Amino acid sequence: MDVKTKFRFASCPARKWFAQDMKDEEISALDTFIGKISKANKIQSEDLQMLYYWYSKITKKHERPSGCASCIRDLITEFRRQLGKIESK
């Protein structure tokens, strides 16, 4: 639940908070990007920058990109979950 409240395009089913609008084109671009890097064996530097660009855009937090493999994997997994590509636990 903590992570879900950080993403601007997720909303609470109990109507405690509402999603902020993201344009369909932005969601589609994010979906395409996440699909691309999910299939990669190794994330490239420019893709890591883009991953954190999307994170910053959605959460309004400006964090420096982390090279931590588990942090990157968790972030990609959460994006996929938010985009409806995998079910929540």
Rounded CA-CA distance 39/15 in Å is 35
Which amino acid, residue 9? F
Domains in the chain: boundaries: 4-11+23-82
Task: Write the pLDDT tens digit of every residue in 45-82.
Answer: 999 999 999 988 887 778 888 888 898 998 898 888 87
Verdict on whether the full-model pTM lies above 0.75: no
Nearest Cα to Cα of residue 10 among 58, 75, 55: 58
Nearest Cα to Cα of residue 32 among 70, 69, 79, 68: 79
Task: Write the pLDDT tens digit of every residue in 3-50.
Answer: 555 565 566 666 655 566 677 888 889 999 999 998 888 889 999 999
